[in-house]
Structures are given as structure tokens and as C-alpha cells.
Structure 1
């Protein structure tokens, strides 16, 4: 009986302890006392919070970002005014510029229960990793993925802490429109970053009545030989305005090959996106050969205000203990955005914890290992406070080293702006600014924010540019393509009126008044127009002009020259020049105004005409006198009276 009582008491105590366990730790909640608190009691704060970083360490942007991120974590941890003593623990993963490796590194990073991930700098990897953070509800703060298609609707946990290429492409479209060019050739890397950026550029140019005439894409790993073949093809085309949107690690190969092909001289226009200034800024010193190649290039760089905070950060940049391994020790704008990304996470976590946010994780039943898989998907846990932390991030508003950190309803940083640079000599020269507020200007953007926005054509300004070939004259932006066919000019082969146009034995094969007028017009153009004349008709009978005009409309001929009458039916299918021959109805006007002369009506009367008039006067008078003097008393009397009567009568009859 006593044994039964003891067993009963043991079971009762076990049930009570088990009930208390489930009350304290509901199913699906994991307690991790080492890093984050999983308790439902939000009053207790963790001592350490894990944050992750994903980027390519051995790259131009990655090395600068690595130094900036680690410096930011140290600054946050040493600042007693934020996070109340809670320390940030940084976990860095190298994506190695690979989407596959980046995905694996992201999954491994998420096993460490990070609450925020910073990076990557690659747009292609960001597309893949965004699916991971969406599933696990971990906000992803990217300082370098500028692909415009990384939308907030498709990837709700993706938050860009740098301006999107959407704005950069509209800045380029404004530059193209400012100089009056109408066609550009896009040279870009064939990945998500390159394709998406150039797609937006096409839309931006269309709004300016311009277009991308050719898209020259190449793979990131292409050799110089393939790039050479690509640029040779580009050089045979009409446009001489090139927009280069590539990666900073390999982008200089484009200009090196272009220089070897003599494409960096007078008449060419090269516009580079922000990758080029990022590369140049990241180098402690750029060799003179590289700078010689880049002379005259226009480039865009992220604009960041020259605040005291930024100057202080730049002054201690070279003294940071974190050094790069690939020689890219210099400073660039992406380092500023990476630094601010850590501070954004710190400010948001501070608010999140003060508002009772729950740093807990739960298992996702959809993530489980099957069929003996060794991937350990079951070790991935969902951040329960991810949605709340994301909303906290979106309402942050503070001033960082890159400027104001605040997001608009589309999750873009407010006030995106760029420096417009001209590469000359041994460095860069700023020729203006572009902002989403007032577009092109020589005034810093923050000065314009206090005034009403003005994007009218007259308000757009840039300083003078030294173009490739060391010239200040704005290039025309196009030439006749070397591989283009000459214009096919149809000439009617008539039977009659050969003075207008007819067959000839001269090198051009035709002659006539119409041909002379056309050749005179061509000679006035400031460029050559290759052309060939093609006779239309057999010369035995006049050709049908309606059929000739139809052939032009059908692109059988590019144009027609001859005595072609402008009639309504023909104007509906082709365009005519202004008529240069005399028409049937004209208005005659003096070229020089004549002085008023009351005797001007006498000018047509010559001396011979006056003599003939007087002779007829006397002749008529004599005839009248002969017929009248015998029967009319008025014609009698003294001779003087008869002469006066005759003259008066003749005068009245005239």
C-alpha cells in the first residue's frame, strides 16, 4: 500500500513539473541563453545579439565594406547610449561572388540565430538569399545590391540601404537629354545587376524621346578576346555614346580594350555608372596608364553630404585595424552605406527591445530533413520578432555618415543623389550633381531641398566637360556606320523633259536640274552621306510616278529625286521636301522696297512708244478733219481754230 502511495506521489509531482515546463516554454519555442532570450518575459534583455554579414571579402566593394562593418560594430558596442549594454556579435560569411555558395553560407549563417543580416553587395546573390530571409523572417540590409527588380513586394524582408539603380539610370537619361543625344549603346554585364539596370535605362530614355540602339552584353568571365570582338561590333554602329554598366572588379577591361581599338579618342562619349568611381576611390593610388585610358569619361558616384560625421569617419579610416587582403584599402561610398547599415540595425534593435520585442525563434514544420538528407534543414528556425523588427527598421530616421537614413513608402532611401564626375588629368572633377528632387544642377542637393522642386529644361545645368580626345566641344554622338549600306536614291528615267533628270555616263550615272539641287543640298551637310542613284524606268516610256512613290514607301528605295508632283495620295505614304520649282500660283513681292514716285506710271512709255502715239494722234486727227470739215461747222474757220478742234476731238476719243 505504501509503495502504491509513493508511486502516486511521484507521478503527481512529475505531472506538476511537466505542466510548469510547458507553461514557461510552450511547444515550438527554443531557449538559447547564450545569445538571445527565448522567454516570453520581454523584460529580460539578452547580453549578446547575433547579426550576420554576407559579402565577397576579396573584392573592391567587399574589402571596403568589411572594414566599415567591423568598425561600426566596435563603435556600437563601445557606445553606452545605445542598446543599454547589449553587445552585437558579428558573424561574417564569404559569398565568394557565387549564388550557390552565397546560398549555402546564408543557410549556415541562419543556423546561428541571427536577427539581422547585412549584405550582400551582389544583386544576383541578393535575389537568392532574399528567399532564405523571407522564409525565416530575418531582415536583410543590403548596402550594395542596387538591382531595381529587388522589389519590396516580392522580397518583403529585403531592405536596401543604398540608392537603387533606378535613380542612377534616370540620371544618365537626363545627361543624355542635356547634351541632345538621341541614341546610346549599352555595354553591360549579363547578370541580374546588368540586365535590370539597362532595362530601366531604356524606359528612362524613352521618356526623353531617346533610345538604346544596341545592347552589348558580355559574361562576367569573358576574356579580353571576346570583349574585343564585342567592341569591334559596337564600333561599326552609328551611335558613339556608350553607357558602361559592369562590375568594378573587371570593368576596366572594357576601357583597356576600347583604348586599343582607338575608341577613346575624339568623337566618342563614355558614361560609366557608379562602379568606376568606386574602383578609383578604393585604390590608394591609380597608375598613370589607367588614368590615361580613362581621360574624358563621365561617371556617376553616390552623393553623400560633407557632414562633420562623415569627415570624422574618413579621417580615421586609414587607422582602422581591419585591413584588406587584395590591396583595396581605399575608401568608397559603399563603405559609408555598410557602416550605416550596422548603425541602422543597432538603432532598430534598441527601439525593438525597449518596446518589448521578443528575440525568440521557433521551428518551422515545413523545414525538416527527409530521406536521410544531411542538409540539416531542421536546424533552421524562424525569427518570431522578424516582422516587428522590420517595421521598426522602416520607421528609423537618423543621420549617418552617408546622410539621412530614412525610408519612403517604397522602401527606398529618401533623397537619392549622385555626383556627376569628369575624369581628367590624374583624378576626377565634379561637373555637377543629380538628385531625384531637381535633377541636374551645379548646386549641392541639400541646398535645393529647401526650395520648390524645379525640373524644367532651363533649370538643368552642368559645368563644362573635357571629352575624350582632350576637346571641350560636345561630341555629335553619332557617325554613319562603317557597315551601313549607302542610301538608295531612285531617279525617274523619263522620255521627255530630260533636263530635270536623265541617264548620264558620269560616275554617278544621272544628271539634270533635280540632281543638281539634291547634290547642292547634300554638300551643305556637315557630314558625308553615302548614296547611289538607281534609274527607275526603261527610258522608252515615262515611268509611273505613283508606283515610284509606293516603292519608296515599301523601302525598296530610301528616297527619290526628280520632278515628282506633290499630290494628296502620295503625301499619305511618304514625306516630301519643300518644293523648289516654280508653281502655278505665286505671289510676287519686291526684294527691296522702292521709293514712292508719282510719275512711276510713265516708266513703261519709251521714246519710241511716245513717237508712235503722237504719229497715230496726228493720223486720226487728219482723218477726222477730212470727213467732218465739209459738213460740220465746228471744223471751219481760221486754220488755228480748226487745228484746236481736231486735237481736242482726238484727245477725247482716246
Structure 2
């Protein structure tokens, strides 16, 4: 083996390596360092640990990347825990002479974090904050892209907290937070996460410098609330003081629930005072999950050793290391990685641009910024027990709460938790027995419909007695929940509206309101309602048409006045027609009794249009035409009304049937007024009522008599009305949607869901039926309508007055014309009349002569013939007719028996006639047809 050659090659390799190292050293010396400012409170233990952590991160970075050209040079500023000095240190670092490329701010104080978030708005120097005390608004990318949050966003904790409440069926909680932007920052996220059956009952702000008395006052206010689930969102120091005072107030005992955010969970192992954890026993806390990798364990060992080396004067055996230092370590590592890219470009935003895209596997997992914030997906749920915190589960997005991070074998629950008071029993989350005594329940004062709520004086007890349907339902519900109730009524509430009464609950002057309180969307914004315990919706009632089983029901459609008037006009019309026709029409002739029969028969046959008498005069025809028109309207109206009485059980008026003369009734002081107004009703047509008797009286009167056509109200009130007035009224039309009646509780009260569930259980078990029967079905209390309602639906004379007036005028006018014509004709040819009247002496004989002349039969042609039976017309075929022949002809009709078959005292067979004349003689008329010439008379044989 040629050892000399090997030594030669080895020497050349070593020489080359030395030359390469010298070249890299020269290049590194040629690149100026990247200065990064750090503001710390070196007077605190956490500040000194933060300095050690940042230094370790920079050294570890360059130990792993020895060939990088850049080097990060830390510019340390001690703020000494003073906010003014923090601002001064930041100003010095941002000065041009400092030439810093970025500032790292690991402060846990919310004031420090908010200060840096405000400073960055006026500077282009990136600020890297690993503080968990920064509000979400401060770290928003919309504020400034130069403020980078390298710690988990506090708003991401809202979903895990909501999942914890859901896991234990707690429906409400109270938020206790620091009075700062950091403390308020979680509020909106919780409200959004609690949408549904869970909600925040209240939020209490505690100043950072609050005295013990101030904290005690806040805890006392919480203690009087029924909600016993508290969410604590504070920095560790303030949270430790709060729990210390909670122990004194007896609120870290059995029945209470305390859930803390990551601000406490991250520092559970490194609280300011070693004894602070003793006051948090039983609390449940969150913290971002950090895998216990070999890299993390190595960091803890090296950190503790280096911290002892850098702080030899401090006495500690094993310094506690908060988990927040892991994010600070990754922050310093990210700054060193971005610095390597910065020297290659002269862009003023080179550092922030490089930082925002930096990605690597850090101590807490994959480091990567989204919208300028570090994203943390998994949260660890811990139970503070003994001297530390025990993991009881995890929260994973999309999976929820699990006992393990491995979905295949994970159970969707938490491990056993030891709650305050060292009990394993899960607290119910609200207190059944408030410290002030029984539940204070307010009741409304009703002016009507006292069946729902009534307050009366009971001499046997010192207080007022509360009763009613709503009270019985509430008592039954609360009895299932084993809850003590005390009803409170103040005379001052007598004039309160229901909205004002609801506001008492919102202002915490009452624990609940029980009564006929309608669930409305506007009210739900300030209070919570249970599920409805009555029918929902609103509709209207009207007065029914009465059904009558009487044998005289056919007389019901018309009033007696209309019946009598119609009968009178039947007789008057028959008389007018007879008076006009009896002189010229043989069908209206005969004996007085026969003429009277014809008068009545003709008059009443027009009612069914069955009259067959042929009329000769145009005057009588006009009278009959007008009368038939009147009879047609009367019979049509009668038929329609009788049909309604016999077959229709109720009227169903629609919006198209309302007229300007219709009034509508509404319940006083009700939302129904606004709803009816939106339907198009004029408020001037409203009439307001408060009791069932007023409802019935208004409907019976009707709109024309000071009442109403219909009354709009909620369905429970209408049901109660119909249970009392069970005859003559109906609820008609559609049922419009509304919330129904519900019990009122403060916003987010845990009682809402329990009471709602108890109402549904009562309904399913038919437990509400006895209460309904007690208040809505009164045996023997059913009353019918008053008789006035019957007459309002009948046909009255007043409605047909115009029709009868026209008919009366026509009849009188036609009769007057006929009389005038007769008198004129008699005066023109009055020789016979003068002879008859001159032969008589006295008024009565003269009048008799006039009547005999008026009753004389003239025939169709108006040519009188005198005999003992009246006037006759000579038949050109048969000669003069006898009285018997005339009488038979007058009483016959157009199809009467032929003359040849009558008993006329002559032998018709002995008269030879032609076939044509035979047909003519056998006809019904004694005169030729108007369109044929009269045949010549036949000579006797």
C-alpha cells in the first residue's frame, strides 16, 4: 500500500476543507446580522425564563443550520413590568438607529399585548406575539399584516367549551372575564358557539386591579343566580385571586361547575404562587394539545439546565416550565428562518413576507401561519386535581370530545372528573333552592278572562290567592321538577302592560312570569319562553245562523211584517186585476162567490207562476208583470234563506264580504290589533272588549246596532268563549300563526328546557286534560245566544221597501187609469146611465145604480147588452145567447165545452151547417178569430 500517496491525498482534503470553512467565514462576516428586538420583564420569573427560551431557540437554529449566511442578533430591552417602560422600549427598538428587523413580544399581560398591537399600526416593523393574552381583534389581519400572532387564537376555544357543556347537558353558563379587550374577545365567539339550546345567562367583568371586596361582590351576584356553571377567561394571576375568593364564598363546593380557558390551563403547572392551585380543585380547563415527543422532552431537560446556569443566584430545585414557552421557542426559530431570506432581497417588507410563508416542524407541531395567526386544531381537556392537572379527554374538530386522539377506539365522552367538593357526581348546573328562598313568580292582572289568571283576596290567608288555568299548569309542571314556587303580586302591576311585565324578568326583578303571556319574537330578544302550553294561533268568531227544529221553521226566513205585507199585496194585486178585467173578460164573471174565488185564486197562483186566466186589458197585464217580478224576488230570497236555515250550520265570511259598515272586535291591549290592521282593516272600525259577556253582546247586536260582525282573538280565548257560549257562535276562517302562551324566564335560564320538557311530558301523559276540563268545560254553564240574534238574519220588510213601493205605485196608477176610462166612456155615451140615475132618489140608490152600471159586462168590444144576467154578445151563428149560455161561457176557459154540447134549450143537431161552420160553432170563442172574417149567418130551415 502506498502510504505516501494516501498521506498526500489526505493533506489535500484537509487543506480544501480549511479553505472552504475560511471562505464561508469570510462570507458570513460580510453579511450584516439581522437584529431582532426582544422586550421582556426581567424582574419576573417568567421574563427570565422567556429570555432563556429565546436564546436557546436561536442557538439551536444555527447549530442545526451552520452553513446559513445570516445571524440573528438579539437586542434585549427590560421593561421591569411597567407599561410606560414597555412603550419606551418599543420606541427605542423602532428607532432607525436600532435597525431592528422585528420585535418579539412574549408578554402575558393583556395591556402589554394590546399596546404592541396598537404600535404596529404606525410602523412597518413586524411584531411577533406569542402571548395568549391578545384579543382576536388585535391579531386580525384586517388590522395590520405586521402584527403576527404565533400563539393560539383565544376565539378557537369557544367550540370546545360549548362541547363540554353539551356533554353534561348544561344549558346555560355565566362568563367571568377580565375587563379588557382580551377578556371581551371570547364573548362574541361563545355567543356564536352557544347558538341553539345553550346560552350565556350573563357575563361579569372583573378589572385586573379589582380589590377583594369588588371580587366578592361579583361572586355574590353569581351566587344568587340559578345558573351554577361558570366560565373563567382571565390571565393566571387574576384567575388565581378569583378562585381564592370563591373558596371563601363557598362556591368551590358541591353543585358548582368551573371551566377555565387556556389562559389558566397553560399555566396550571406554573402559577404565580405555589399554593394557588389548591383553590382551583375540581375545575376543568383547556389548553392546546402539545404532543409529548422526544424533542419536547429534550427541550425541557436542556432548558432547566441552561436556566440554572444563567441564573445561579436563584434558589430552585426543579423550575416549572409553562407550556407557553414552547410557542415562544417556535417564534424565535421562525424569526431566524425568515432572517435567512431577508438578506437576499432589498424589499422593505422582505422579513414579514418571508415570515408569513415560513413552515417547519416545531416543538408544538407544524408551524404555519394562516391570516397572520397560528392555527391550533386539537385542545386538551384537563381536570385540576392535587398539585397539577390530569388529562380527561380531547376536543378534535369534526370529531368533538373523545377520550383518545385515535378515532377508531375513542369514546365520545370524558374520563371521570372530580368536581368541586371532591365529588364524582356530575352537577346539574343550576340550583333548585336559591339562597333567597323559593322562586319568585310574577303574575299579570287580568281585567277579563279571569279563567286564565285571577288574583283574589282569601280571608283565610294573609296574602292574595292566585288561581286560574295557567297557574294550575305551572304548579303541575313545577311539582314534577320538585321546585318551590312563591307567587308575587304587587298592586303597582295592575296597570302594567304585558311587555312591561316581561321586562321585570329581564331586569331580574322576578324569576319568572306565569300567565296568558303570548310568545312574541320581540319579547324573545330579552327573555326566554318555554314551549307553548296552549293552542297556538289566532282567529275570529261570528254569530251563527240559528238552527230551529220547529214545525213552523218555514216561516223563519221572513219577519212577520214582511209576511203580512206580502199577503196584503197579494190581495191588492188580485183586486186590481179583477177590477180591470171583470167588465171585459168573461173569465172574471159569475156569481159574487165565484168572482171572489177567482180573485183569490188568480192572486195566489202568481206566487208559483201557475195562473192561466187570459187577460184582456193591457193595464191588468202591466200590473201582473210588475207583481210577478216582485214575487220572483221574494220567492228567490225566501228559498235562499230557507236553504241556509236548513243546511248551513254557520256563516264563513271572507275578506271579500266585508263592507264599510262592518265593525270588528279585538281584545283590548293585545297584539291582535296590529295583526288585524295589517290585514287591511281600518282602525276606526275597531271596537275593543275585555270579557266574554262583552263578546257575546257585541256579536248579538251586530255592526248596525252598536256591535260587531266578528271578533278577532287568540285561540285560547276563543276556546274559552265557546266553552261558555256553546250555542249560536262559531270560530271560522283560517287560524293565523302565533306563538301561543308560554312561561317567561330570564334569558338563558336553565329552567326553560326543564319546564318545556315537563310540559311535553304532561301533554303526552294526558295530564293537561283534567286541567282543561276544569277551566274550559263548565257543566251546566253553557248558555245560548239571545233571541235578538235570530231576527238579524231574517228577511225584513225594510230590505224590500223599494220593491213594494214600485208595485203599489203601478197598481194604483193602472187602477186609476181604468176608472178614468170607464167614467169617461160612460159620460160620453151616458144616456142609459142618466136614465137610471134620474129614476132614483137619494144617495144610496144613485150609488147602487152607478155600481150596477160599473159591474155591467161589456164584452171584449165594449158593447153592453142588458138582461137579467148582464150583457151578452149576439152570436152571428147561433143568434142571441141565453143567460145560461153566457154564464157557462164566462166561467169557462179557452178550452171550454163546444156550444153544440151545451144545454141551451135548442136541438143543435137540427141545425144544418157546413163542415167549416161546424168547426167554427164547436170552438170555444163566441166570436170570430181576429184574423178571420166573420162567417155569414145561416138562415133557419
TM-score (norm 1): 0.66
> Which residue does 1:416 correspond to in 2?
377
CA distance in 2, matches of 1:351, 1:160: 20
**1:524-563 correspondence to structure 2 within 5 Å:** 524-532=480-488, 558-560=513-515
Cα contact 2:147–2:372 (8 A) shared by 1: no
> Which residue does 1:342 correspond to in 2?
332
Cα contact 2:113–2:131 (8 A) shared by 1: no
Cα contact 1:420–1:432 (8 A) shared by 2: yes
Greater shift after overlay, 392-401 or 207-216? 207-216
> Which residue does 1:523 correspond to in 2?
479
DSSP-derived class of the 1:464 partner:
coil
C-alpha distance 525-120 of structure 1, shift in aligned 2 (>3 A): same
> What's the CA shift for 1:182?
2.6
DSSP-derived class of the 1:174 partner:
helix
> Which residue does 1:466 correspond to in 2?
418
C-alpha distance 509-230 of structure 1, shift in aligned 2 (>3 A): closer
> What's the CA shift for 1:220?
1.3
Cα contact 1:59–1:326 (8 A) shared by 2: no
Q: Say which of 185, 207, 216 aligns to 1:219.
A: 207
> Which residue does 1:363 correspond to in 2?
none
CA distance in 2, matches of 1:132, 1:82: 35
**1:187-226 correspondence to structure 2 within 5 Å:** 187-205=176-194, 207-226=195-214
Cα contact 1:415–1:436 (8 A) shared by 2: no
Greater shift after overlay, 194-203 or 484-493? 484-493
> Which residue does 1:142 correspond to in 2?
129
CA distance in 2, matches of 1:553, 1:139: 52
**1:104-143 correspondence to structure 2 within 5 Å:** 104-111=88-95, 112-121=98-107, 122-143=109-130
> What's the CA shift for 1:88?
2.3
**1:395-544 correspondence to structure 2 within 5 Å:** 395-408=357-370, 410-436=371-397, 438-444=399-405, 447=406, 460-479=412-431, 482=435, 486-489=440-443, 504-507=458-461, 509-510=464-465, 519-532=475-488
DSSP-derived class of the 1:254 partner:
helix
CA distance in 1, matches of 2:448, 2:59: 89
> Which residue does 1:332 correspond to in 2?
322
CA distance in 2, matches of 1:161, 1:537: 57
Q: Which has the higher contact order (CA 8 A, sep 6+)?
A: 1
Report how many residues are paired. Answer: 491
CA distance in 2, matches of 1:137, 1:318: 36
DSSP-derived class of the 2:237 partner:
coil
Q: Say which of 128, 153, 159 aligns to 1:164.
A: 153
> Which residue does 1:57 correspond to in 2?
42
Cα contact 1:53–1:91 (8 A) shared by 2: yes
> What's the CA shift for 1:94?
2.9
CA distance in 2, matches of 1:532, 1:133: 57
CA distance in 2, matches of 1:495, 1:108: 77
CA distance in 1, matches of 2:315, 2:92: 25
CA distance in 1, matches of 2:322, 2:348: 31
C-alpha distance 257-521 of structure 1, shift in aligned 2 (>3 A): same
> Which residue does 1:100 correspond to in 2?
84
C-alpha distance 73-223 of structure 1, shift in aligned 2 (>3 A): same
Cα contact 2:145–2:372 (8 A) shared by 1: no
CA distance in 1, matches of 2:503, 2:291: 57
C-alpha distance 493-143 of structure 1, shift in aligned 2 (>3 A): closer
C-alpha distance 330-548 of structure 1, shift in aligned 2 (>3 A): closer
- Residues 563-614 of structure 1, C-alpha deviations (whole Å, 9 max, x = no match): x9969433547516744334779xxxxxxxxxxxxxxxxxxxxxxxxxxxxx
C-alpha distance 45-137 of structure 1, shift in aligned 2 (>3 A): farther
Q: Say which of 63, 71, 74 aligns to 2:56.
A: 71
Gap runs ≥5 in structure 1: 1-41, 359-384, 452-457, 539-546, 586-654
- Residues 327-353 of structure 1, C-alpha deviations (whole Å, 9 max, x = no match): 793111111011111111111222334
> What's the CA shift for 1:144?
0.9
> What's the CA shift for 1:519?
4.2
Larger fraction in helix = 2
DSSP-derived class of the 1:281 partner:
coil
CA distance in 2, matches of 1:342, 1:482: 53
> What's the CA shift for 1:139?
1.8
Cα contact 1:417–1:434 (8 A) shared by 2: yes
- Residues 405-455 of structure 1, C-alpha deviations (whole Å, 9 max, x = no match): 0122x22323433211111233221111124453422223xx56xx9xxxx
CA distance in 2, matches of 1:262, 1:246: 21
DSSP-derived class of the 1:313 partner:
helix
**Residue 144 (structure 2) pairs with residue 155 (structure 1):** yes
**1:352-371 correspondence to structure 2 within 5 Å:** 352-353=342-343, 356-358=344-346
**1:259-270 correspondence to structure 2 within 5 Å:** 259-270=247-258
CA distance in 2, matches of 1:140, 1:554: 48
> What's the CA shift for 1:254?
0.3
Superposed CA RMSD in Å reads 4.1
DSSP-derived class of the 1:346 partner:
helix
CA distance in 1, matches of 2:181, 2:534: 55
C-alpha distance 549-199 of structure 1, shift in aligned 2 (>3 A): closer
- Residues 473-500 of structure 1, C-alpha deviations (whole Å, 9 max, x = no match): 22222236546971124698999999x9
DSSP-derived class of the 1:52 partner:
strand
Cα contact 1:510–1:533 (8 A) shared by 2: no
CA distance in 2, matches of 1:141, 1:496: 68
C-alpha distance 283-257 of structure 1, shift in aligned 2 (>3 A): closer
Cα contact 2:451–2:468 (8 A) shared by 1: no
Cα contact 1:239–1:478 (8 A) shared by 2: yes
The structure with the largest alpha-carbon Rg is 2
C-alpha distance 339-552 of structure 1, shift in aligned 2 (>3 A): closer
CA distance in 1, matches of 2:534, 2:339: 80
CA distance in 1, matches of 2:266, 2:210: 22
> What's the CA shift for 1:249?
2.6
TM-score (norm 2): 0.47
CA distance in 1, matches of 2:273, 2:83: 32
C-alpha distance 474-155 of structure 1, shift in aligned 2 (>3 A): same
**Residue 68 (structure 2) pairs with residue 83 (structure 1):** yes
C-alpha distance 249-96 of structure 1, shift in aligned 2 (>3 A): farther
CA distance in 2, matches of 1:398, 1:342: 12
> What's the CA shift for 1:44?
8.3
> Which residue does 1:570 correspond to in 2?
714
DSSP-derived class of the 2:241 partner:
helix
Cα contact 2:121–2:144 (8 A) shared by 1: yes
> What's the CA shift for 1:297?
0.2
CA distance in 1, matches of 2:340, 2:283: 45
Gap runs ≥5 in structure 2: 1-26, 506-511, 517-532, 539-712, 716-737, 743-758, 760-767, 779-941
